[in-house]
């Protein structure tokens, strides 16, 4: 799973946060072939004036995924489409109010624990 930073508006319920996190996680697994048990997410909450997405109003989500290089353009496009579909279903976020940025890196750029680069050890 990529490391996913998810920014949402402050004051949303735990159920809302879970719906967003679950939608992102499910979409990543469905479209990019990550293992089902890999889940690394950080949810950031922001005041409306601190989460600006052009002039869009209402609920909005910005996410930044950091992951190992190698996923195809088709997989990424499928992820974009699937995650906005899932967020529209629950918790009801307009697809126009979702921004996604993916940044890729290399095996050496990851340590999951113990100060070891697990992908290159």
Tell me the whole-structure pTM to 2 decimals.
0.93
Q: In this structure, is residue 119 part of a structural domain?
A: no
**Domain span at 19:** 3-109
CATH code, 53: 3.30.429.10
Number of structural domains (the chain) is: 1
d(CA 94, CA 97): 5
Largest CA distance in the chain: 47
Return the pLDDT at 107: 94
Q: In this structure, is residue 65 part of a structural domain?
A: yes
State pLDDT tens for residues 40-49.
Answer: 999 999 999 9
Cβ burial, residue 60 (10 Å; 0-12/13-18/19+) = buried
Q: In this structure, is residue 88 part of a structural domain?
A: yes
Return the pLDDT at 121: 75
Q: In this structure, is residue 99 part of a structural domain?
A: yes
Q: In this structure, is residue 103 part of a structural domain?
A: yes
């Amino acid at each position: 799973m990529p490391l996913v930073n998810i920014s949402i508006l402050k004051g949303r319920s735990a159920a809302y946060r879970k719906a967003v996190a679950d939608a992102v996680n499910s979409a990543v697994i469905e479209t990019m072939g990550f293992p089902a048990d890999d889940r690394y997410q950080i949810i950031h909450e922001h005041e409306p004036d601190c989460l600006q997405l052009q002039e869009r109003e209402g609920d909005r989500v910005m996410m930044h995924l950091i992951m190992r290089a190698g996923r195809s353009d088709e997989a990424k496009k499928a992820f974009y489409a699937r995650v906005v579909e899932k967020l529209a279903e629950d918790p009801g976020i307009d697809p126009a109010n979702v921004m996604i940025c993916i940044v890729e890196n290399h095996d050496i750029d990851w340590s999951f624990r113990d100060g070891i680069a697990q992908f290159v050890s």
